[in-house]
Copies of this chain bind each other. A is one copy, B any other.
Amino acid sequence: MGSGYGENIKLTIFGQSHSEAIGMVLEGLPAGVKLDIDAIERFLARRAPGNSPLSTPRKEADKPVFVSGLSDGCTCGAPLTALIYNTDVRPGDYEPYKNVPRPGHADYTASVKYGGYADYSGGGHFSGRLTAPLCVAGAICMQLLSAEGITVKARIAEIGGIAGDEAQMLEAVAYAKAAGDSVGGIVECVVDGSPAGLGDPMFGGMENRIAAAVFAIPAVKGIEFGEGFNAARLKGSENNDGFRVSGGRVVTESNHAGGILGGITNGMPLVFRVAFKPTPSIALSQHSVELDKLTDTDVCVGGRHDPCVVPRAVPCVEAAAALAVYDAFLGRKREM
């Protein structure tokens, strides 16, 4: 299965790119919380295409409709359900890829897994579009975390190998687009204000929990916390974060650990980075196969493609992080 997440809240995501609707059910929220629907919509707008010169100009209106879980605009304890209706549905467009899988996409693996019965239109349940309900859930968790003084903020760290300079990043995307190609990148996320003590030992560590949420975003191929892969190249004396007392509380002098020790938050900013592969949809001809005849062929993926998903992925990473952190936060309440 796999469309569910959470130990203390339970998120279920449903829908396919071209089904009547996509959406989510979120169970376990506290009752009596006034949701800021505008803020949820603004958050969703950040992942919509057309916002950034770095992404495609196509426009979608992803407006969540809350069909259950609210009473007088407040959470009422019942599962919260939001739908986003798919208005611009053209299943026929994807008919060819049912038999000729697109490289880098889930067409082939979905075909094997579901014995030819997968919904191939627009990637079906594997579409990046399914990050919209993830963002609905994440936006709600961010509101709840914010009330506890915890903020979640991600940013583009790198695009096409270029860090820091946005003009150069833009150029890399434009260059790839002109060539019918695509680029990937890295998103960095910081969770600030988290108390020490979130997370559990072993499989319940914050790294495990965040990774298990973040890899739900299509195109993610790596995650690292604090120094991450760079820690593998440091000495213990360089990587350890010494403790100090500051303002009456325990802090660390540096934050190579990214705010996590033994899987549990230490009260310092929780920092992680996520690697996104380049968009698999490219205009260039690629090698593929005809699944019915088991013969080689070539495929050209038509249509408007986003030459770089990274800008739109930023709120998705925030959403996944907020979900994981809020779930751990609720678990911590049980202990106190």
Contacts and interface: CB of A to CB of B under 8 A. Distances in A.
A10 interface: yes
A138 interface: no
Nearest to A297: B243
A23 B119 CA distance: 22
A103 interface: yes
Contacts of A5: 202-203
A263 B68 contact: no
Interface stretch (A12-20, A44-52, A56-64): A12-20
Nearest to A7: B1
Contact of A215 (B7, B205, B275, B277): B205
A87 interface: no
A interface, by DSSP: helix, strand, loop or mixed? mixed
A84 B118 CA distance: 25
B117 A75 contact: yes
Given A67-B23, A119-B76, A207 B215 contact: yes
Interface string A151-192: 000000010110000000000000010010111111000000
A150 to B, nearest CB: 16
Given A215-B205, A236-B280, A242-B286, A78 B12 contact: no
Contacts of A215: 203, 205, 207-208, 211, 263
Contact of A208 (B68, B212, B221, B258): B212
Contacts of A243: 101, 103, 108, 287-289
Contacts of A282: 236-237, 240
A55 interface: no
Interface in A247-301: 248-250, 252-253, 256-258, 260-267, 275-282, 284, 286-289, 291, 294-296
Count class of interface residues, chain A: 35 or more
Contact of A221 (B75, B225, B253, B334): B225
A262 B109 contact: yes
Given A14-B25, A19-B78, A110-B264, 10 more contacts: A1-B27, A12-B79, A106-B262, A109-B266, A110-B262, A113-B197, A113-B264, A207-B221, A222-B229, A240-B280
B227 A277 contact: yes
Contacts of A116: 32
A211 B233 contact: no
A184 B234 contact: yes
A221 B226 contact: yes
Nearest to A241: B103
Interface stretch (A35-43, A123-131, A141-149): A123-131
B2 A119 contact: no
Closest 6 CB pairs of A and B: A2-B204, A106-B262, A242-B287, A2-B200, A222-B224, A78-B125
